[in-house]
Homo-oligomer: A and B are copies of this chain.
Amino acid sequence: MAAYRRYVLRCGNHSNGAEEKLSMGDVAARLAEIVGDKNLLTGEAISEDYAHDEALNAEPQRPAYVAKPATAEEVAELLKAATEHNVPVTARGSGSGLSGAARPREDGLLISFERMNQVLEVDTGNHVAVVQPGVTLAELDVKTAEAGLSYTVYPGELSASVGGNVGTNAGGMRAVKYGVTRNNVLGLQAVLPTGEILRTGGKTSKISTGYDLTQLIIGSEGTLALATEITVKLHPRLTHGATVLAPFGDFGQVMAAVPAIVSSGLGPHILEYIDNMTMAAIVYNEKLELGVPDKIRDTSEAYLVVALENRENGRLHEDIETVGELLGELGATDVYVLEGPAARKLIEAREKAFWTAKAAGADDVIDVVVPRTAMPPFITKARELAMAAGGGAIGCGHAGDGNVHLAIFCKDADKRKQLLTDIFADAMERGGAISGEHGLGRTKASYHQALEDPAKIELMRRIKQSFDPAGILNPGVLFPEGTA
């Protein structure tokens, strides 16, 4: 705490908790004192980028202020000032979120972590990295590769920030082997809205010493505390990898193959399904040449993508052969082993499925999660509901995790709202949840409010209040505007 600086506050002592009405200019001046004039933007100086993330249905909104702090202490001072003057605060990493959790409020302060973008340490003795929240996954990947290690959360967008991933508990394709963000973040430095700077967890993968604040903050979408330093677990980077693509005539067979592959103990790090419409779109968009003959393509309802990695090339190829045989037994109409560039291209194309859906005019993109065995009936039902609403639902997803990404085509906003309500309700009845990895953000909060057990929502609201009694952190996110 030696670096802690106290600022001379222009607006006196607010320890009595009374809110002092300051003009926007006065608030801006106070915020500028904390981060420096050039790191505080207002009015026209705020670029349009700060008005949105990548959610399809969160109306862009420029905030009143954008602050770019450089230290946890500056974040703490910003939050104290915001609490005193009742200014809503939204945190922003790279703005690549899909639920509007980084869309600020008109009267709000957007804290952008773009200057807190350093990999502070890659610790090869403890197999962890310590990073600032603005570090992108791409940057972290470069640094960890140098040490033969890997941060194994790949949510499909390498420009995403680690801080943003903490906010949404990002998942991605490798979760089937390595788990999601919450399984790979060991500790945080985090700032409470009241300005306290806490350290939770650390460079250890187990702690049973009080409530797990790290886990509570992960996935809280900027509504409880802001992470200013993140300690992540690293894994040995296995150098040999190959990918198998298997078309199936029947969607149910694809899904029935998944538990068999998991049970085999082969431990795939990617286990994805892609439906025929989505495959056609990504093959066309990305100009992929996968070697699948027209005849097989035309009779395929969906594809399974299985990727394996190993420290030894010989074992990898033995295992790939075993997977191929297994897939044949499980009903695949053919099996294609993709290596090097072809495999990489397919995975990259799959990662861009969101952009493909957006380009195709999708009206929303959802990422429902259900128990793995409930995927076939859930997807069938979702398609039926979409068709009944005069629209469509196509997609792909993390087959190993039960995480279904659906592009929803339904222009009429009211009908679409009802359609999503029905789809989410169906997923929840099957033991699933609204979001597997994108978060509720601003765009799915009202569905959660309408469909979730009120006792759980009330409990979450009380937890929120225990962190943020003034309610300044990301109002409208997780809890619909005006309800928290």
Residues of A within 8 A of B (CB): 123-128, 148-149, 168-171, 175, 179-180, 182-183, 192, 196, 198-200, 202-213, 215-216, 218-220, 224, 236, 238, 259, 262-266, 311, 315, 369-373, 398, 401-403, 431-440, 448, 452-453, 455-457, 459-460, 462-467, 478
The chain B residue with its CB closest to the CB of A267 is: B236
With beta carbons under 8 angstroms apart, the residue of B171, B200, B238, B434 that contacts A456 is B200
The chain B residue with its CB closest to the CB of A168 is: B208
Contacts of A448 in B (CB 8 A): 209-210
The chain B residue with its CB closest to the CB of A187 is: B431
Contacts of A211 in B (CB 8 A): 216, 219-220, 224, 460, 463-464, 478
Question: Is the beta-carbon distance between A179 and B205 smaller than 8 angstroms?
Answer: yes
18 pairs from A and B in contact (CB 8 Å cutoff):
A124-B259, A170-B208, A171-B208, A179-B205, A192-B455, A199-B453, A204-B431, A204-B432, A204-B436, A206-B403, A208-B435, A208-B440, A210-B219, A210-B456, A211-B224, A211-B464, A216-B463, A466-B466
Question: Is the beta-carbon distance between B478 and A210 smaller than 8 angstroms?
Answer: yes
With beta carbons under 8 angstroms apart, the residue of B204, B452, B467 that contacts A210 is B452
Inter-chain CA distance A265–B437, complex, in Å, is: 28
Question: Is the beta-carbon distance between B369 and A434 smaller than 8 angstroms?
Answer: no
Secondary structure of the A contact surface, majority rule: loop
Question: Is the beta-carbon distance between B215 and A216 smaller than 8 angstroms?
Answer: yes
Question: Is the beta-carbon distance between A204 and B456 smaller than 8 angstroms?
Answer: no
Question: Is the beta-carbon distance between B175 and A205 smaller than 8 angstroms?
Answer: yes
The chain B residue with its CB closest to the CB of A461 is: B466
Question: Is the beta-carbon distance between A436 and B207 smaller than 8 angstroms?
Answer: yes
With beta carbons under 8 angstroms apart, the residue of B125, B192, B265, B452 that contacts A259 is B125
Inter-chain CA distance A188–B124, complex, in Å, is: 36
Question: Is the beta-carbon distance between A175 and B206 smaller than 8 angstroms?
Answer: yes
Contacts of A266 in B (CB 8 A): 311
Inter-chain CA distance A285–B133, complex, in Å, is: 51
With beta carbons under 8 angstroms apart, the residue of B170, B175, B264 that contacts A236 is B264
Question: Is the beta-carbon distance between B207 and A369 smaller than 8 angstroms?
Answer: yes
What's the least CB distance linking A355 to chain B, in Å? Answer: 20
Contacts of A435 in B (CB 8 A): 207-209
Known interface pairs A198-B455, A218-B212, A456-B210; A203-B431 also in contact (CB < 8 Å): yes
The 5 closest A-B pairs by CB, nearest first: A462-B466, A203-B371, A215-B215, A125-B373, A236-B265
**Max chain B Cβ within 10 angstroms of own Cβ: one of A125, A456, A457:** A125
What's the least CB distance linking A393 to chain B, in Å? Answer: 19
The chain B residue with its CB closest to the CB of A221 is: B208
What's the least CB distance linking A219 to chain B, in Å? Answer: 5
Contacts of A439 in B (CB 8 A): 208-209
Contacts of A224 in B (CB 8 A): 211
Inter-chain CA distance A149–B262, complex, in Å, is: 11
Given A210-B219, A463-B466, 18 other A-B residues pairs in contact with their CB atoms under 8 A: A124-B263, A125-B259, A126-B402, A175-B205, A192-B459, A202-B432, A204-B431, A206-B398, A207-B433, A210-B456, A210-B457, A211-B478, A212-B215, A213-B459, A216-B463, A236-B263, A459-B466, A465-B466
Inter-chain CA distance A437–B403, complex, in Å, is: 31
Question: Is the beta-carbon distance between A205 and B401 smaller than 8 angstroms?
Answer: yes
Question: Is the beta-carbon distance between B208 and A126 smaller than 8 angstroms?
Answer: no
Contacts of A210 in B (CB 8 A): 219, 440, 448, 452, 456-457, 460, 478
Known interface pairs A124-B263, A259-B126, A466-B466; A216-B207 also in contact (CB < 8 Å): no
With beta carbons under 8 angstroms apart, the residue of B192, B263, B462, B464 that contacts A148 is B263
Contacts of A373 in B (CB 8 A): 123, 125-126
Question: Is the beta-carbon distance between A371 and B204 smaller than 8 angstroms?
Answer: yes
Known interface pairs A198-B455, A455-B198; A212-B205 also in contact (CB < 8 Å): no
Inter-chain CA distance A125–B256, complex, in Å, is: 8
Contacts of A220 in B (CB 8 A): 211
Inter-chain CA distance A263–B170, complex, in Å, is: 25
